[in-house]
Structures are given as C-alpha cells and as structure tokens.
Amino acid sequence: MAQPTLAPGDPAPAFEGRDQNGHLIRLADYQGKKVVLYFYPKDDTPGCTAQACNLRDNRERLSAQGYEVIGVSVDDEKSHQKFIEKYDLNFPLVADTDHTIVEAYGVWQEKSMYGRKYMGIVRTTFLIDEQGTISEVISKVKTGDHTEQILAG
C-alpha cells in the first residue's frame, strides 16, 4: 500500500465539501486553528467506529490543545448523519462523494483484500497547523487509541 503523497511541511490542500447537515465545510474557515483532518474508509464499520468514538470521547482533550476535528469519507451526507446519530459524534463528517478531497490528499489508492484489488480510502490522519501547513501525517492509525497518537505528535 502506497503512502500518502503529502508530507509534513507541505501546505494542506484547500478543500470544501458538505457535512452531514449539508453545511459547507472549508479548510479556509479553520485558518488560525489546528485541525485533525482524518480520512476513514466507511461509516459504521468496526475500525471506523472505534476511531470516531475515540475522537469523540477525547474531544475536550483535543480542544484543549487547540485542535478541531473533521472526518472525511466518500459516504454521502445521509450515511454520515446516521453514523453521527448512532454514536453521538461531536464533530463534522464531510461527504466527499466525488472524491475531490481524497484525491487531493492522496489517500484514494489501490487496496487489496482476500486477493481482490479495489480502490478505496487508506486510513490516514493529517495534523494541520494554524497557518494551513501539514505538521504531521499519521498513516499507521491505531483506531482505538488515535487521540494518543495525535497528542504524542
């Protein structure tokens, strides 16, 4: 599996997309704040749920360090809304149904499962500083302990 093409020190690609409520989310709206931008394969699957719930449960700790959390997958707004309601998630999930954001961040890649090759999101988190620069790329995400990875960075 290839690594994302972006690295620490690179400018974070500008993006805009609709969240679970149809609101437009733009990276530019977070200028002056630190952002945890995490890409995950699919709503309401075991690993993605563990990761989202870990971030939900530690949102105050992340906020105390100045971080805003934004999740992105290629699921649609309706799927995101169900996922958020089911697990009481407290951050926006962007619906990247046209793959613009996942392509810009280099996380839409060929994957393989049981010998079958397919395209999908490689679970990756980008930490973006107040100036819009990538400060860290976490490509080996521990779904159940993701906040610790972020805060250790």
**Any idea which residues carry the catalytic annotation?**
48
**Neighbour count for residue 32 (Cβ, 10 Å):** 10
DSSP the chain: -PPPS--TTSBPPP-EEE-TTS-EEEGGGGTTSEEEEEE-S-TTSHHHHHHHHHHHHTHHHHHHTTEEEEEEESS-HHHHHHHHHHHT--S-EEE-TT-HHHHHTT-EEEEEETTEEEEEEPPEEEEE-TTSBEEEEE-S--GGGHHHHHHH-
Q: What is d(CA 51, CA 94) in angstroms, rounded to the nearest whole number? A: 16
